[in-house]
């Protein structure tokens, strides 16, 4: 009896001690390095954005901010690695529409459920998307591209960052709106950009973050931006709406999450720190040069945005009949 009583007291002491320690740990956050997982290859738009923010965060947090690229399987590999981390605020995940609003709809058995797996921290930024075409195609504007695609259904190729990524599904949305059939060729991340600029693939719908430098260098032609009005970053490129194409107002956005169950004070601290960095004048100037619009929205707004976009992309996945194993 005495042994059982002693064991019970020790267990109670342990539980109470842990409970008393939790607020102290939260108050001292962060007291070691923070890791940001990117489920994309190094060198892409998400990678550039994260490394810029990480550099500015380190002095504010007083700890090293480590960036780790874990690409593969339409961001599933990196996301699963992130989900194996404890909800303590020391491992974060940053990605685009693909992870937070597309991937759960691509699999018969979803690899994760965003609502139960993620603790939204922030909606960080967005970049407009544009249709780019290699000069060898011989078209200089959207009507000419659509006409060529209608005359040669299924022959003109369009690249993407992989099956089921936002670049793939927006290309499907464009084909539906324009009444054309393109030949989709998926790549592994930024390899798609090199394929189009090198002429191996005819076209791609990509974020201006990565597309505009290729346009300005003359490697591809900017045919139209995928929104209702011209972008401030590239006012010389017409919008799809100017040519009468409706329902293709869409962009690439970047979100940040922590594992579900991360303490609210830590989530709020991270959200505020990222917002502060995004509003720094030098960061905003750098983002503008990269064709990125800082948003700096908090956890509640990020969660609502993820869910709205999830419904949009769910419909696109069904329309495109995309499925991954």
**pLDDT (tens digit, 0 to 9) for every residue of the chain, 325 residues total?**
444 444 443 444 444 444 443 443 688 899 999 999 999 888 888 999 999 999 999 999 999 999 999 998 889 999 999 999 999 999 999 988 989 999 999 888 899 999 999 999 999 999 999 999 999 999 999 999 999 999 999 999 999 988 888 899 999 999 999 999 999 999 988 899 999 999 999 999 999 988 999 999 999 999 999 999 999 999 999 999 999 998 888 999 999 999 999 999 999 999 999 999 999 999 999 999 999 999 999 999 999 999 999 998 998 888 777 777 6
For residue 209, the model assigns a pLDDT of: 87
Which residues, listed in sequence order, are joined to residue 95 by a DSSP beta bridge?
255
Look at residue 138 and tell me if it is in a domain: yes
d(CA 158, CA 130): 13
CA 250 to chain CA centroid, nearest Å? 13
Do both 107 and 147 map to the same domain?
no
For residue 318, the model assigns a pLDDT of: 85
For residue 322, the model assigns a pLDDT of: 76
Look at residue 3 and tell me if it is in a domain: no
Please tell me the total count of domains within the chain: 2
Cα→Cα distances 260→86, 214, 251, Å: 9, 39, 26
Look at residue 34 and tell me if it is in a domain: yes
For residue 293, the model assigns a pLDDT of: 94
- Give phi and psi for 276, each to the nearest 5: -60, -45
For residue 188, the model assigns a pLDDT of: 84
Closest CA to 171 of 139, 190, 138, 149: 149
Look at residue 39 and tell me if it is in a domain: yes
CATH code assigned at 136: 3.40.190.10
Closest CA to 125 of 209, 61, 35, 39: 209
Last residue of a domain, one of 243, 264, 285: 243
For residue 325, the model assigns a pLDDT of: 63
Which residues, listed in sequence order, are joined to residue 207 by a DSSP beta bridge?
129
Do both 118 and 154 map to the same domain?
no
Do both 199 and 144 map to the same domain?
yes
CATH code assigned at 73: 3.40.190.150
Do both 23 and 122 map to the same domain?
yes
Cα→Cα distances 10→1, 4, 13, 22, Å: 14, 10, 5, 18
d(CA 281, CA 259): 30
For residue 303, the model assigns a pLDDT of: 96
Bin 101: left if φ > 0, else alpha if -120 < ψ < 50, else beta.
alpha
Do both 213 and 307 map to the same domain?
no
Angle (CA) 198 202 204, round 5° = 95
Do both 160 and 239 map to the same domain?
yes
Do both 63 and 73 map to the same domain?
yes
Look at residue 28 and tell me if it is in a domain: yes
For residue 12, the model assigns a pLDDT of: 42
Domain, as residue range, for 267 = 9-126+251-320
Do both 18 and 111 map to the same domain?
yes
Do both 120 and 257 map to the same domain?
yes
For residue 165, the model assigns a pLDDT of: 86
Sign of CA dihedral 174, 175, 180, 183: positive
Taking the model in full, what pTM does it have? 0.83
Q: Write down the residue that tokens 């004070």 correspond to.
A: 265
Do both 24 and 108 map to the same domain?
yes
For residue 17, the model assigns a pLDDT of: 42
């Amino acid at each position: 009896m005495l042994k059982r009583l002693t064991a019970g007291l020790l267990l109670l002491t342990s539980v109470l001690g842990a409970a008393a320690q939790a607020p102290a740990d939260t108050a001292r956050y962060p007291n070691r390095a923070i890791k940001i997982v990117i489920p994309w290859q190094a060198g892409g738009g998400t990678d550039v954005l994260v490394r810029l923010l990480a550099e500015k965060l380190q002095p504010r947090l007083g700890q090293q901010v480590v960036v780790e690229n874990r690409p593969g399987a339409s961001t599933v590999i990196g996301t699963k690695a992130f989900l194996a981390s404890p909800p303590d605020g020391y491992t974060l995940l940053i990605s685009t529409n693909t992870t937070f609003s597309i991937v759960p709809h691509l699999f018969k058995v979803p690899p994760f459920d965003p609502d139960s797996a993620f603790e939204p921290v922030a909606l960080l930024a967005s970049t407009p998307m544009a249709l780019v075409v290699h000069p060898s195609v011989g078209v200089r504007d959207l009507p000419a591209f659509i006409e060529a695609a209608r005359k040669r259904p299924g022959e003109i190729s369009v690249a993407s960052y992989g099956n089921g990524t936002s670049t793939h599904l927006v290309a499907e949305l464009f084909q539906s709106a324009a009444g054309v059939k393109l030949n989709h060729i998926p790549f592994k991340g930024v390899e798609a950009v090199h394929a189009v600029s090198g002429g191996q693939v005819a076209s791609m719908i990509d974020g201006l973050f990565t597309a505009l430098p290729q346009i300005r260098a003359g490697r591809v032609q900017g045919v139209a931006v995928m929104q209702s009005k011209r972008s401030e970053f590239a006012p010389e490129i017409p919008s799809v709406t100017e040519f009468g194409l409706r329902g293709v107002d869409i962009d690439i956005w970047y979100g940040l999450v922590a594992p579900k169950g991360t303490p609210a004070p830590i989530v709020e601290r991270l959200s505020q720190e990222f917002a502060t960095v995004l509003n720094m004048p030098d960061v905003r100037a750098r983002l503008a040069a990269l064709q990125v619009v800082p948003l700096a929205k908090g956890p509640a707004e990020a969660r609502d945005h993820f869910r709205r976009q999830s419904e949009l992309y769910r419909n696109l996945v069904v329309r495109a009949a995309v499925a991954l194993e």
